[in-house]
Amino acid sequence: MSNTIPVKLVFSDGQTNTLQLEEGTSILTGARDRGLSLLVDCEQGNCGTCQAQVSHGMLEMEEFSPYVLSEAECANGVVLVCRAKATQPATIELPYCADDALAASDAGCAAVVERIEPVAEDTIALTLVTEGAVSFLPGQYVNITVPDGSFERSFSMANPPGSQRLEFYVALRPDGRFSHWLTSEARAGESVSLSAPRGTFYLRGDARPKVMVAGGTGLAPFLSMLAQLAQEERPEIRSAALTLFVGARHERQLFEIERIEQFKDRLPGLQIHVSCDEISPGSSHRRGRVTQLLEALSIDQSSSIYVCGPPPMVDAVRAILKDKQIPARQLYAEKFIG
Ligand SMILES: Cc1cc2nc3c(=O)[nH]c(=O)nc-3n(C[C@H](O)[C@H](O)[C@H](O)COP(=O)(O)OP(=O)(O)OC[C@H]3O[C@@H](n4cnc5c(N)ncnc54)[C@H](O)[C@@H]3O)c2cc1C
Ligand code: FES
């Protein structure tokens, strides 16, 4: 009998599963063979959904997009589970509970375009309506397939769960296919297909202090999280300290700032800091990077840190937290350029 390699999976609720894998076996395949569906999406190393932390040992990685995982992250033991193979004993910390993995659904649905409206420079608000209410965890995303079925893109819900009306904020890219469809072809009343909600970047239901860092349309998932927190009935969760940093390349690209200010009525611990790389003369906004503000912040060591935005911003936040000795398992991150 050949020797197998133990790979221990540790879920965030403390549940563990040890896979005994032949050398070179993919972690995803090994887990599936044991009846465990780990949370994944593209399975190609392109979306970053399956990010996890190796706390002991090492895994070999197959090819992946450098946009979703940087060299520094790899050096710090961050892996994409869908691209990881067993070569020596290892422990992987997964940023979600075992139950969340079991509850993952593959069923998508149809939706009808209700609203397409510019809300800031190169930023469009898109509202889709589904037949029934869509349940998801605040912070998650869906893949939207355009009407002719030719391609799909991922977008994070900005509304709280449980509604038929899904709100998205889309950053337009000059040669982007989805950007072109949205600005030139999409019409109210048209049907698109949605995947089931996906992703491990979602609000955890604890009362820890929270720091949230949003870059560009990376604010979208935080709008969903803030709305969910504002509806929270447990006062220890609703009143916990919450510092939100909102960054944009130019202040003309800021959106929904008034809406997030209004959450302060329900969230007494909420502090908001807005900072843009470029501002207009006489602007009331701060010029600079949100990461500079984060660097200067004294962070409670027990805080959960949520960051969503361009890869360099997420990498910079990870480095700052390392300097501040905040454990990597307290960081939840999603990368996209928006
Ligand atoms: C989990 C997840 C959630 C997302 N949520 C949102 C959201 O809420 N709002 C939002 O605006 N966007 C979001 N995105 C990004 C979105 O899915 C699209 O990638 C984006 O809108 C560009 O699509 P496009 O078809 O217009 O451009 P594309 O046709 O895909 O690309 C346009 C140009 O960008 C280049 N490019 C493609 N990907 C990258 C990359 N990662 N880095 C640098 N250049 C690249 C291409 O080479 C091309 O030149 C999310 C992405 C992921 C993975
Ligand atoms: S599932 Fe997309 S990177 Fe692993």
pLDDT tens track for 222-259: 999 999 999 999 999 999 999 999 999 999 999 999 99
Domains contained in the chain, number: 3
Residue 203 lies in a domain: no
Give the mean model confidence (pLDDT) for residues 274-290.
93
pLDDT digits (tens, 9 = 90+) for 64-84: 999 899 999 999 999 999 999
Partners of residue 117 on adjacent β-strands: 125
What integer pLDDT is reported at residue 213 of this predicted model? 98
Last-in-domain residue among 165, 194, 223 = 194
Closest atom, ligand 2, to C-alpha of 45: 3
C-beta 153 within 6 A of ligand 1: yes
For ligand 2, is residue 77 a contact (CB within 6 Å)? no
- What's the token pair of residue 276? 């843009």
The per-residue pLDDT for range 159-215, each reduced to its tens digit, is: 999 999 999 999 999 999 999 999 999 999 999 999 999 999 999 999 999 999 999
Distance of CA 216 to the CA centre of its chain: 13
Q: Which of 156, 171, 274 is nearest to 224 (CA)?
A: 156
Taking the C-alpha atoms of residue 130 and residue 134, their distance in angstroms, rounded to an integer, is 8
Q: Which pLDDT score, from 0 to 100, does residue 116 have? A: 98
Q: Is 55 domain-assigned?
A: yes
Asked if residue 125 belongs to a domain, the reply is yes
- The average confidence (pLDDT) of the chain is 94
Instruction: Compute and round to an integer the Cα radius of gyration of the chain.
Output: 20
156 lines ligand 1 (CB under 6 A): yes
Any ligand 1 atom below 6 A from CB of 181: no
CA dihedral 155, 158, 159, 160 (to 10 degrees): 90
Residues 213 and 84: their CA atoms lie apart, in Å, by: 28
What is residue 284's predicted lDDT score, i.e. its pLDDT?
Answer: 87
pTM of the model: 0.92
Can you spell out the DSSP letters for 92-128?
A: EE-SS-HHHHHH-----EEEEEEEEEEEETTEEEEEE
Ligand 1 centre and the CA of 204: distance in Å? 25
Has residue 129 been placed in a domain? yes
Considering the domain architecture, whether residues 331 and 219 belong to the same structural domain is answered as yes
Same domain, 174 and 248: no
86 lines ligand 2 (CB under 6 A): no
Residue bearing the CA closest to ligand 1, atom 31:
176
CB 166 within 8 A of CB 127: yes
CB 287 within 8 A of CB 277: yes
Which among 150, 153, 175 is the best mutation to test ligand 1's pocket, defined by most ligand atoms within 8 Å of the CB? 153
Q: Which of 43-47, 63-67, 99-103, 153-157 has the lowest mean pLDDT?
A: 99-103
One domain, residues 85 and 148? no
Query: Do 297 and 268 meet the contact criterion of CB atoms below 8 Å apart?
Result: no
| CA–CA gap between residue 336 and residue 311 (Å, rounded) | 6
Tally helices (H) and strands (E) across the chain.
Answer: 9, 17
Residue 92 and residue 50 share a domain: yes
CATH number at residue 97: 3.10.20.30
Of 194, 221, 242, which residue sits at a domain end? Answer: 194
For residue 172, give the CATH number of its domain: 2.40.30.10
pLDDT over 90 at 3, yes or no: no
